[in-house]
Amino acid sequence: MLFHNPLRQAVLIKRYKRFLADVELENGEVVTVHCPNTGAMTGCAEAGMRVWLSDSANSKRKYRFTWEIAETFKGQLICVNTHRANRVAGEALDSNVIEQLTELQQLSAERKYGYDNRRIDWFARDSQHREVYIEVKSVTLADANQGYFPDTVSKRASDHLRSLQDMVADGHRAVVLYTVLHSGIENVSAARHIDPKYAEECQKASKAGVEFYALGCELTLQAITPRQELPVII
C-alpha cells in the first residue's frame, strides 16, 4: 500500500476526543488533525513523538491532515490509521503471503454475512470451493517484541469471534487475520491482561475451528508492504 503523496512530518502535542490530535508542523504551526483510530493507542501517542501526516490538500475539510504514522522514541514505526489494515491485508491475500490462505478466489471486501447482516472484511473461496470469511484486526500495541490485541476492552471484537464460529458451524472457513502495523512486533497474542473476555473467546473460537494468523509488514514513510506470517499465541 503506497502513500500517494509525501507525508508531512510533525511532532505530537496530544491526542484527545479519540479522533483528534494537536501537532506542531516543521514550520512551527500548531494544527489539529484527524486521528483515525478508536483504540487506546497505548505506546503510539506519547507527547513529543515524531508523527507523519497525509495531506488532503482540501481547504473545505475541517481537518486537512490525517495522522498516518508515529515513531516511537526507540525509532520504531507504527501506522496508527487503522483503516489501512484492510487494504494491506487484501494485498497480502492477493499475493499469497500467508501460506494457509493461498490461491483464494473471488476475493471481495465488505461483504454482509450471518444472521444479523454484519460485514466481514474479506470474503473468498478456497481451492476446495469453501467459503472463507476473513476478519482483519489492526495490531499496534507492543511490549518489547510482543504484540497484543485488543488495546482496550472490545465487546465488538468478541462478538466478531462468535459470528466466525457460526460460519465454521455452517461448514465454512473463518479466519482472524491480525495485521501488524508496528515495526517492532514479532508475534501476536490475545491481550488477556486488558480484555480477558476476548482472550477466552479466542480460545473457544480456536477450538471450534476458527483460524488465527498474523501478518508482518514493512513500514516506511512511502508504503506499508505485507512481508511474512508471524506467530500467533492463543
The CATH number assigned to the domain holding 27 equals: 2.40.50.580
The answer as to whether 2 is a domain residue is no
Mean pLDDT for back-to-back runs of 10 residues, the chain (234 residues):
95 97 98 96 97 92 96 98 97 96 93 81 95 98 97 96 96 98 98 98 98 98 98 95
Q: Is 3 contained in some domain?
A: no
Alpha helices in the chain (DSSP H): 84-94, 155-169, 196-208
pLDDT in tens, 33-47: 999 999 999 999 999
From CA 41, how far away is CA 24, in angstroms rounded?
Answer: 19
Final residue of a domain: which of 79, 98, 113?
79
Domain that holds residue 41: 8-79
- Do residues 179 and 63 share a domain? no
End-of-domain residue from the set 35, 64, 79: 79
Greatest CA separation for the chain: 58
pLDDT digits (tens, 9 = 90+) for 3-12: 989 999 999 9
How many domains does the chain divide into? 2
Q: Are residues 61 and 107 in the same domain?
A: no
40 and 96 part of one domain? no
Q: Is residue 128 part of a domain?
A: yes
Instruction: Note whether 94 and 72 are same-domain residues.
Output: no
Q: Which SS3 state, helix, strand or coil, does residue 86 take?
A: helix
Indicate if 100 and 184 belong to the same structural domain: yes
d(CA 159, CA 139): 18
CATH number, domain with residue 213: 3.40.1350.60
Domain match, 37 and 128 both: no
- Tens of pLDDT, residues 112-133: 887 677 899 999 999 999 999 9
25/97 same-domain check: no
Global pTM value = 0.95
Give the per-residue pLDDT at 115: 65
- Judge if 52 and 126 occupy the same domain: no
- Domain-terminating residue out of 42, 57, 79: 79
Does residue 25 sit in the same domain as residue 51? yes
Distance CA 20, CA 37 (A): 9
Shortest CA distance to 116 belongs to which of 65, 160, 66? 160
Residues 122 and 219 in one domain: yes
Taking CA atoms, 211 is separated from 83, 100, 178, 197, in Å, by 22, 9, 11, 18
Q: Is residue 185 part of a domain?
A: yes
- Alpha carbon distance 175, 155 (integer Å): 18
